[in-house]
Each structure stands twice: as structure tokens, then as C-alpha cells.
Amino acid sequence: MIFNINKIRKDFPALQQEVYKKPLVYLDNAATTQKPQAVIDRIVKYNTYENSNIHRGVHYLSQKATDAYEQARIFIKEYINTAESHEIIFTKGTTESINIIASSFGKKFLKKDDEIIISTMEHHSNLVPWQQVCIENRAHLKVIPINEKGELLIDEFKKLLNEKTKFVALTHISNALGTINPVKEIIEMAHKFDVPVLIDGAQGIPHLKIDVQNLDCDFYCFSGHKVFAPMGSGVLYGKEKWLEKLPPFQFGGEMVENVTFEKTTFNELPFKFEAGTPNVESILGLETALRYISEIGIENIADYENDLLNYATKELTKIDGLRIIGTAEKKASVISFLIGNIHPYDAGTIIDRMGVAVRTGHHCAQPVLDWFDIPGTIRASFAFYNTKDEVDRLVEAVLQAKKMLE
Amino acid sequence: MTIPEIENQLESEFQYFEDWMDKYNYLIEMGKSLPLIDPKLKIQSNLISGCQSRVWLHAAYENGKIIFKADSDAVITKGIISLLIRVLSNQKPDDILNAKLEFIDKIDLKEHLSPTRSNGLLSMIKQMKLYALAFKTKYQ
Ligand SMILES: Cc1ncc(COP(=O)(O)O)c(C=O)c1O
């Protein structure tokens, strides 16, 4: 298929709006993405004709909803190429996926003075759960340092790995800097010490082709809403051998096999980790979103976005006093920047009034901004439905902010 | 002047702005030109942390009225602070407690007081009212 940007944009009703009487330029895709009509239609169809609780009834509708839900699991299995479909656990998002593993792994395997390795550029979601589980078990959190471009120091990571290391949790792509981490290399090194690795794929899934067997990661987590699907849908991929060993995270209906007042035996995978009624409509929306991406082709998307990133970087750098935070060699379409001494909040306010949606602040990754010794940045993050014209609108808005605030 | 009188005054002043740019230019001017707080008062205990911009607030009680001094590291936030100070400073605790601050809505700056902005302004107003309550209980 040829990458037809005009056709693609028409698929996203949210992009057709005006804000402050100007066509909306939506550049906050790292926070959440817009949904194509197909996803919206899928949710409406489910709620109109299929709504029923899953895995519970013998009746027709329940069967239909269950089939659709399990079909989504099979599609996602193929999409990220897991070995088994029961290695796909549905969650409400990346944060929940990470918490399940941090908590279950901590409970079962973590002891005093063990070590867990994360990186300087983690989102709070892939930092705080590990920090807390370390505190509970009197274990220690070790942090992979970065260089001034915002790239991991791999040699330093090697030095951190030792026989006390029990787990590595690392983001695939930094939401604050855009850095694409060499996760495959890291996973390989960790495995030499028999250490399992969790990849926070919240920003990886919308930009890259993900093949979990090729990466050989032990866990991969992502959120639907960052990949053109509804909020409240998420995935936790785990290798069967790990998911079998880990205790359940939450208890309730669905995840049990047999219950008496004295004792409960738990259901098999994936249900062991899916307590209670899941967000069926959002999961079906996630399947639809990933099908939509497959039709365009994730490689086509990556090429297009890379082009957009290069253009935006080139145009923004022309602005006097503008400084990009995060200049890794391998980057996704995320640009964090500062304009002279202008406070990001002020710049963001003016840019917003120009009809351009960007994010300002610390992007839930305070430690990495502390590392750069800045309180926050302005962040423009692009999706495959953005255009060079929109980059020009961003540049125009930045120039306006600069003019008013400097 | 009473709080409602100052609010009215601000509303009529803001009527003259032709568009959002004029209005924001004015706020930015206010934010840049006003030294709002003695640097000595920019201390941790006076800091109201919004996660987007930081706000410092100091209150003193003089002759039955409260004098507020406040500042921010973001200029637009500071500009809005200067409006709030104009309205609420040098007023009696009861009047501060009763102030509805409807002018913010009327001059179309309400979005800056939304919790999603987390710029510290909303917490600052809350804190001003708490000071009013505290001084009222202490001195009246
Ligand atoms: C890298 C990264 N990890 C985790 C998260 C958390 O995702 P969610 O809030 O959908 O659970 C985000 C979202 O901002 C992210 O960018």
C-alpha cells in the first residue's frame, strides 16, 4: 500500500476540528493518540450488538463477546509474535502491566540486598513500582546512566550486572527524550546472568515493529491508548515460563478454578492474571487499531515518521536559542525542547493559543529532567497522521511564543 | 476599594483588548515588570508546588487586613498572580473568604485555574483563603 496521508487523516475525526478558530495541530501523541473511525465504530458495534459478560454465560451473546475477546488475543499474539496466545494478558495499560510484574516478582523472588536495574530515562510508571518493591524487600535499585545526548551508557550497564541482579526493567523508547534504546543488546547481556528483562513498550508499540521472540524479552508492556486504541486497554506479554512461576496479582472472579472457604486453586494462563470483568470494548478497539496499523504497515509508518522527525528537527533548530533535549542517534518522533530562558509553561500557553497541542512539564520522568538540570520541557510528539505543514505551524507558534515572551 | 469594585475595574480594563494576543502581552508585561515578592520570601515554606510552574505566597496581617505577596517562575502565571493580588490583597479576611473571583471567568482566563493546568494558581487561591481563615480565627 502507498502511504496516502490525505486518506489517513480523513480516518481520524478528531483531527478535523478547530481550536481557537484554527485547524487543530495535534502534537501530543506521546501522551495519547487519536482514534481512527474504525476503532470508534468497533466500540459502538460492541455496545450496540455484542455487549455481554465474557467467559461466563452459555447464552448466545456471551459466547459472541467471548469469541471476539479471544479473537483479539490471537490477533495481538500474532501482531507482536508471541509463542503462545496465553502469554498475552489483557490489562488496563502499561502502568498496570508493570505493577503486576513488579509486585508478583517481588513477592516471590526478591530478597534482601538483591538488585534491580532500571535506567535514568524511565517514566515514573517503570520506576516507582520497582523502587517500592525494593523498599519492601530491602533490595536495591540500580540506575543505568546516560550521556548528554540521552543515550544509555552500555558499558556502565555491564558493570551494574552481577550475581545480585534479579531483574532489569527498561523503556524501549523514552517518552521525554525520544531515545530508542538498544533493548535487544541489553536483553542478551542480562540473559548471560539469567536475569529476566521487562521492556516498557508504551512508546515502542506505536513506532516500531515489535517481535517479542526476536527481542527475547521476558516481559513487554504497552497501552492501547498510545497506539490509536481506546483508553483502558493494555497488554502484558510474559514468557510462559515466567507467568507460570509468578503468583497472581489480584484475586476475584475469572482468575479462579475452584473456590471453597478454605482454599482456592487458580485458573490457568492467561486468566490467572485477569481477575474480574475486563474492559472488553477497549480490547476489541485495540485489536481494530492494530489491524488498522497493519494495513498501512508499521515499516511505512516508521519511515514516514522518521522523515517528519528529521524535517521538524531541522526546522526547529533554525530558531535562535532553541535547544533540543535528547539528541540520540536513534530517535523516535518525539522532540523535547526549550526556547532560551522561557519557562515551558509560558511557551506552552502561547503555542496552545496558536492551535498547536504540545505537552509541557516533566512528562512523568522527573529524574531524567533532573539529570539535564531543567524543570521541564516543551514536547512535540508526532504520529503518522501528522504532516510537514503541521511542523510549519509548530515552528510558527514557537516563533510567536518567542516573540511575546523573550 | 472593595473586592467586587476591583473585579469590575479589571473587567472593564480587559474589555479593551482586541484579541488573545493583546491580553497575553499585557499579562506578560505585568509578569515581567512586577517584582512581586522579596527574594528572601522565596523559600521552601512559602512554595506552592504546581507541577508545571512554581508559585510562592506570603501573607501578613496588618490593621485588620491581609497583605499578600506572591510570585512565580513562569511569567504568565505571574501576570495572573498580579491580578489576583490586586483583588485579594489589602482586604479583610471575611471579604477574602467570600470572594467568588468571577472576574477570572469574565476576562476569559478560567483555563489557567483548571486543575489540569497544575500551575499552582488554584492551590494559591486555596491557600489565600486558608490564610484568611487562620488570621480571622487568630485576631477576631
Ligand atoms: C514510556 C512510558 N511508560 C509508561 C507510561 C504509562 O502509560 P499508561 O499511563 O498508559 O499506563 C507512559 C505514558 O505516558 C510512557 O510514555
Interstrand relation of A356-357 and A25-26 (parallel, antiparallel or unpaired): parallel
CA of B71 to the centre of ligand 1 (A): 33
Domains of chain B by start residue, with CATH: 3-139 (3.90.1010.10)
Q: How far apart are CA B102 and CA B11, in angstroms?
A: 10
Q: Any chain A CB within 8 A of the CB of B133?
A: no
Residues of B in contact with A375 (CB under 8 A): 54, 73
Q: Which residue has the higher pLDDT, B36 or A320?
A: A320
Q: Known catalytic residue: B51?
A: yes
Cell numbers representing residue A280 in the block:
472488553
pLDDT at A121: 98
The cell for A377 is 520541557
Cβ burial B94-114 (10 Å sphere, 16+ → b, else e): eebeebebebbeebebeebbe
A181 lines ligand 1 (CB under 6 A): no
| Amino acid sitting at position A269 | L
Among protein residues, the one whose CA lies closest to atom 15 of ligand 1 = A202
pLDDT at A278 over 90: yes
Place of cell 516573540: A403
Query: Mean of the pLDDT values across residues A284-312?
Result: 97
Largest CA distance in chain B: 45
Q: Is A19 on the interface with B (CB under 8 A)?
A: no
Of the CA atoms within 13 Å of residue A304, those in its CB half-sphere come to 20
Q: Residues A159, A160, A164, A170: what is their CA dihedral angle, to the nearest 10 degrees?
A: -140
pLDDT confidence of residue B123 = 86
Q: Is A224 helix (H, G, I), strand (E, B) or coil?
A: helix
Give me the pLDDT at residue A1, please.
55
Strands A359-361 and A377-381: antiparallel
Long-range contacts of A107-113 (CB under 8 A, 24+ apart): A107/A247, A108/A245, A108/A246, A108/A247, A109/A166, A109/A167, A110/A134, A110/A137, A110/A139, A110/A166, A110/A167, A111/A137, A111/A139, A112/A137, A112/A138, A112/A139, A113/A138, A113/A139, A113/A140, A113/A164
Query: Ligand 1: which atom is nearest the Cα of residue A92?
Result: 11
Determine which of B20, B22, B24, B119 to mutate to test the interface with A (most A C-beta atoms within 10 Å).
Answer: B24
CA A153 to chain centre: 22
CA of residue A201 to ligand 1 center, whole Å: 8
Instruction: Name the percent of chain A lying above pLDDT 70.
Output: 100
Q: How far from chain centre, in Å, is Cα A293?
A: 16
| pLDDT over threshold 60, residue A102 | yes
Query: So what's the pLDDT on residue A248?
Result: 93
Measured between beta carbons, the chain A residues lying within 8 angstroms of B19 are: none
Q: What is the mean pLDDT of residues A323-352?
A: 97
Q: Using an 8 Å Cβ cutoff, are A197 and A220 in contact? A: no
CA atoms within 13 A on the CB side of A180: 16
Please check the confidence at residue A290 and state whether its pLDDT lies above 70. yes
pLDDT band for position B109 (50/70/90)? confident
Pocket test for ligand 1, best of A119, A125, A235 (most atoms within 8 A of CB): A125
Residue A117 Cα to ligand 1 midpoint, Å, equals 19
Q: Looking at A11-20, A75-84, A395-404, B18-27, which range is the least confident one?
A: B18-27
Average pLDDT of span A356-361: 95
Is there a contact between A347 and A360 (Cβ–Cβ < 8 Å)? yes
β-pair partners for A335: A380
What pLDDT, on a 0 to 100 scale, did the predictor assign at position B98? 95
Pocket flag, ligand 1, residue A179 (CB < 6 Å): no
Phi-psi map region of B120: left, alpha, beta (phi>0 left; psi -120 to 50 alpha): left
Give the residue, out of A118, A120, A121, A203, with the most ligand 1 atoms within 8 A of its beta carbon, to mutate for a pocket test: A203
List, in order, residues 6 or more apart from B23 with CB less than 8 Å away: B14, B17, B107, B108
Q: Quick one: pLDDT at residue A170?
A: 98
pLDDT in the model for residue A46: 97
pLDDT of A203 above 80: yes
Element counts in chain B: helices (H) and strands (E): 6, 3
* B36: pLDDT strictly greater than 80: no
Average pLDDT over residues B2-26: 93
Please name the amino acid found at residue B4.
Answer: P
Beta bridge partners of A238: A219
Stretch B88-93: mean pLDDT, rounded?
96
| B73/A20 touch (CB, cutoff 8 Å), yes or no | no
- Confidence band, pLDDT 50/70/90 cuts, at residue A282: very high
Least confident window among A74-88, A208-222, B93-107: B93-107
Q: Which long-range contacts (CB under 8 A, 24 or more apart) does A142-145 make?
A: A142/A115, A142/A116, A142/A117, A142/A118, A143/A117, A143/A118, A143/A119, A143/A367, A144/A117, A144/A118, A144/A119, A144/A120, A144/A170, A145/A120
**How confident is the model over A70-86, as a mean pLDDT?**
98
Q: Which chain B residues are within 8 Å of A376, Cβ to Cβ?
A: 52
Pick the closest to residue B52 from B86, B82, B75 (CA basis): B75
A273 has a pLDDT exceeding 70 = yes
Residues of B whose CB is below 8 A from A348: 52
Specify the residue for cell string 504497515.
Answer: A297
Q: How far is ligand 1, taken at its centre, from the CA of residue A227, in Å?
A: 11
ipTM greater than cut 0.95: no
Are B51 and B73 in contact by the 8 Å Cβ rule? The answer is no
Q: What is the DSSP string of A149-180?
A: TS-B-HHHHHHH-STTEEEEEEESB-TTT-BB
pLDDT at A84: 98
Question: HEC states along B14-47?
Answer: HHCCCCHHHHHHHHHHHHHHCCCCCHHHCCHHHE
Mean pLDDT of all residues belonging to chain A: 96
Q: What is the pLDDT of residue B35?
A: 66
With cut-offs at 50, 70 and 90, classify the pLDDT of residue B50. low
Q: Are A228 and A39 in contact (CB under 8 A)?
A: yes
Stretch A276-299: mean pLDDT: 97
Mutate to test the pocket of ligand 1, among A124, A130, A364, A379 (most ligand atoms within 8 A of CB): A364
Cα B15 to ligand 1 centre (Å): 43
pLDDT at residue number A62: 93
The grid cell for A212 is 517479542
Q: Which of A132-136, A179-183, B55-59 has the weakest average pLDDT?
A: B55-59
Residues of B in contact with A349 (CB under 8 A): 24, 76, 112
- Mean pLDDT (whole number) for A310-322: 98
Residue nearest to atom 14 of ligand 1 (CA): A31
Instruction: Please state the atom number of ligand 1 nearest to the C-alpha of residue A93.
Output: 11
With a 6 Å cutoff on the Cβ, whether A381 touches ligand 1 is no
Give all domains of chain A, ordered by start, each with its CATH number. 5-30+298-405 (3.90.1150.10), 40-294 (3.40.640.10)
**CA dist., res. A112 & res. A140, Å (int):** 8
Distance CA A254, CA A272 (A): 8
Contact at CB, A343 and B75, closer than 8 angstroms: yes
